Structure 1
Amino acid sequence: MCLTWGPGTRFRRRARLVAEPLLIAHRGASGARPEHTLEAYELAARWGADYLEPDLVATADGQLVARHENEISATTDIAERAEFADRRGTKVIDGVEVAGWFTEDLTLAELRTLRCRERLPALRPDNTAYDGQFTVPTLGEILDLRSRLSEELGRKIGLYPETKHPTYFRGIGLPLEEPLVAALTAAGLNRRDAPVFVQSFELGNLIALRRDLGLAVPTIFLAAEEGAPYDLESSGDPRTFADLLTPAGLAELARWVSGIGPHKDLVIGRSEDGSLAGPTPLVARAHAAGLAVHPWTFRRENEFLPTDLRQGTDPGAAGDVVAEIRAHLAAGVDGFFTDHPDLGVLARG
């Protein structure tokens, strides 16, 4: 069986042919601009990213917008907006109590009055120069940007959306899946050869997208180092992320998804001193099951790097993320998520 997913990449069961590993701009060029803004996505494409990655959440009127979380006090100026003071609340999301302001309590028109800000100001102080300049983008705007940049740059720019907290959003009557499929279809991108992947930390919604809602593009199951998919946990299914990454688990995943997006440390672990260790068996196991492997997330700041690739002791100082990415490419991954597309191009080159 031969599967073709995205520009320049082919995968086959028990064999892998990769013209060039995919460079996925994690929330755009989020190392250089506030994340999930049109400006971050555009910069990422111009720096050479193959795919732009928006995390999708819903507004009160059912519009899909790009935010890392539906709680937006860290990524917008809403906490300083007196007119929304009464919207602050506390909710239980995926079993965790969260306090703040939430996209599902604002209409799109209200959300669009807010301005974005840098989520990690202590680590990325230069990005704070852009605070207050950008608005929260809709999925439609991101699709339009993708189309324009593809034409302008003369190459296909892909889209790699993530459905955030899909069980939670469906439970409050604001499902993410139907409007996502509708938007991709309207843009002419709901076809198997389109430069699109849809990703989720939950398995059930990926199955439903493919089986029940007519999604034709490849899907990617995301996996954390610990814990379990919330949809399985909340339904009493005992399987954890670790269970789903065993050979038997991967074979089951391959019935429904096209690949996995594991935390990078599941591909190459850390030694006791925090330095980069050797590759785990995960890539070989996934490829044997016919699954692509796209690990996340490569960032240049010391805070996120193995100890042997850090420069100095400042958590926000730039270490050698190029070496970390290259180690994972040598381990056989088929693509990678990075906040720094320019350094991703350098590492891949």
Structure 2
Amino acid sequence: MRKRRKVRGLLSAIVALCAAWAPGSATAGGDHGQAGTAVELGPRPFHLVEDMDDSPLKRRLQQCAKRPSRRSDFSIAHRGAPLQFPEHTREFYEAAIRMGAGIVECDVTFTADRELVCRHSQCDLHTTTDILARPDLAAKCSAPFVPAEFDPATGERTRAASARCCTSDITLAEFRTLCGKMDAANPDATSVAQYLDGTARWRTDLYAGCGTLMTHAESIALFRRHGVKMTPELKEPSVPMPYQGDYTQQQYAQQMIDEYRAAGVRPREVFPQSFRIEDVRYWIEHEPLFGRQAVYLDGRVDDPAFVATLEDFQALAAQGVRIVAPPMWALVTLDESQRIVPSGYAQLARLAGLDIIAWSFERTGPIADMIPEGRQYYFQSVAEVMDNDGDAIEVLDVLAREVGIIGIFSDWPATVTHYANCMRL
């Protein structure tokens, strides 16, 4: 009997070990993921690989299709998985984690009672939730719904439909009652129902019945439960600061860090971000353990007058900045042979000793549609050599191997996860 118990115990241990190393297991190889959390890539990464022009990279990615996938910190979930799920909702965070994102983003803003919540903008509730369909809460919006107007003779729109609803218009208790939806609005709408029904044709409303909105603290608890790292972005307030006369920008920046401390999160698991260099400097000075991984989202590149210089990047490094994060297009350019190569910005930032994160992969619709119409922001510097969705992976490869980025935000993390696993990043 004792011998049988030993055999059963040995078999149980073998079964547990096999489960941990099963294909798709996020715990295989000692990954920091939650035990039992499997990485599920789905068909999209492989669809994009098949769409690539023939190349050694394509063949390598095809060969990797049979390998098990593990979670990767190179794969950063941008707002979750908003290509098909309502952003900053519990459902889309969980989808991103299943796709192997090792780091997940909560964009942080605040409500009327100064509670921190996950929203991409303080004033996006009219496009990301059902607030306009809720008369009691719609009445509190900064600007009510105004229908579109059209020229009766030509039928041309003379005024787009509009509204403005902010988290600072409502309390946390009221925020919790809202349903998350795909971020979109119909500018031709003449009714609230039409205004809310604006999802782009290349996205879907199949998973947008009623997305569960999250507070910042709830996002921390969810991410800890799944064992992923966190990258909160302190959003630029849409209201004058100090808010309500005494809530300062510094208190706002500190409150965000305090919620990680209260949850017992280790600083090395957090990458706080901001487009405001002042916020980054505040964390470096007042919260150095968190500040050492603070990410400066470099929006200066959108200013035509901005010129990247080594002196500028060295000055950032001297202030304690270790990571910069510009949009993808600022990191690549075309050489004389029309080959995609690292940009001057990328080379100078690396020369100054800075790490680089890029944003955001799979953020827009089909490349074949976007580029001819001049609507392709993220690949604008190399758009002239791109004509299919598979070309985006070629850009990703240059960013990873030649620019040397340490991670990239993505609206569908599975694709980046597949690339990262295949390249053993």
Alignment deviations for residues 176-200 of structure 1 (CA, whole Å, 9 cap, x no partner)? 3121111111122253xx2211111
Distance 1:77 1:38, change over 3 A: same
Report matched runs for 1:236-247 at 5 Å: 242=306, 245-247=308-310
The residue number in structure 1 matching 2:320 is: 256
Equivalents in 2 of 1:21, 1:114: separation in Å? Answer: 31
**Aligned to 1:202, which of 264, 271, 276?**
276
**Aligned to 1:278, which of 341, 346, 366?**
341
1:297 and 2:360 matched:
yes
Q: Which has a greater percent of helix?
A: 2
Higher alpha-carbon deviation: 164-173 or 332-341: 164-173
Deviation, 1:270, is 6.5
Report matched runs for 1:1-349 at 5 Å: 22-71=74-123, 72-90=125-143, 100-120=164-184, 121-126=199-204, 128-150=205-227, 157-166=228-237, 168=239, 170-172=241-243, 173=247, 175=249, 176-191=252-267, 194-213=268-287, 216-217=290-291, 218-224=293-299, 225-227=301-303, 242=306, 245-254=308-317, 255-269=319-333, 277-299=340-362, 301=365, 302=367, 303=370, 304=376, 305=379, 306=383, 308-311=385-388, 320-331=391-402, 332-348=404-420, 349=422
Distance 1:84 1:166, change over 3 A: closer
Deviation, 1:269, is 3.2
Q: How many residues align?
A: 296
Q: TM-score, normalised by structure 2?
A: 0.63
Deviation, 1:158, is 0.7
Alignment deviations for residues 230-288 of structure 1 (CA, whole Å, 9 cap, x no partner)? xxxxxxxxxx7x35x421111111123221001111101369xxx97432122232222
Deviation, 1:135, is 2.2
CA contact (8 A) 2:340 2:398 kept: no
CA contact (8 A) 2:323 2:354 kept: yes
Matched to 1:343, the amino acid is: T
Equivalents in 1 of 2:393, 2:131: separation in Å? Answer: 36
Distance 1:108 1:167, change over 3 A: closer
Equivalents in 1 of 2:78, 2:360: separation in Å? Answer: 7
Equivalents in 2 of 1:83, 1:35: separation in Å? Answer: 24
Deviation, 1:319, is 5.1
The residue number in structure 2 matching 1:234 is: none
Deviation, 1:36, is 1.0
Tell me, what secondary structure is at the counterpart of 2:297? strand
Q: TM-score, normalised by structure 1?
A: 0.76
CA contact (8 A) 1:31 1:340 kept: yes
CA contact (8 A) 1:197 1:220 kept: yes
Distance 1:81 1:131, change over 3 A: same
Distance 1:320 1:117, change over 3 A: farther
Equivalents in 2 of 1:200, 1:249: separation in Å? Answer: 18
The residue number in structure 1 matching 2:196 is: none
Equivalents in 2 of 1:319, 1:111: separation in Å? Answer: 39
Equivalents in 2 of 1:112, 1:177: separation in Å? Answer: 23
CA contact (8 A) 2:79 2:107 kept: yes
Q: Which has a greater percent of strand?
A: 1
The residue number in structure 1 matching 2:67 is: none
Higher alpha-carbon deviation: 206-215 or 181-190: 206-215
Distance 1:104 1:29, change over 3 A: same
Equivalents in 2 of 1:113, 1:165: separation in Å? Answer: 24
Deviation, 1:308, is 4.0
Tell me, what secondary structure is at the counterpart of 1:113? coil
Matched to 1:47, the amino acid is: M
The residue number in structure 1 matching 2:24 is: none
Distance 1:116 1:283, change over 3 A: same
Equivalents in 2 of 1:56, 1:39: separation in Å? Answer: 18
Equivalents in 2 of 1:158, 1:48: separation in Å? Answer: 12
Tell me, what secondary structure is at the counterpart of 2:254? helix
Deviation, 1:43, is 1.4
Deviation, 1:174, is 6.3
Alignment deviations for residues 115-155 of structure 1 (CA, whole Å, 9 cap, x no partner)? 011115114432x12223212101111111111111xxxxx
Matched to 2:398, the amino acid is: A
Distance 1:195 1:323, change over 3 A: same
Equivalents in 2 of 1:169, 1:43: separation in Å? Answer: 35
Equivalents in 1 of 2:339, 2:258: separation in Å? Answer: 43
Distance 1:215 1:58, change over 3 A: farther
Q: Structure 1 stretches of 5 or more lacking a match? A: 1-6, 9-19, 91-97, 151-156, 229-239, 312-317
Deviation, 1:166, is 4.9
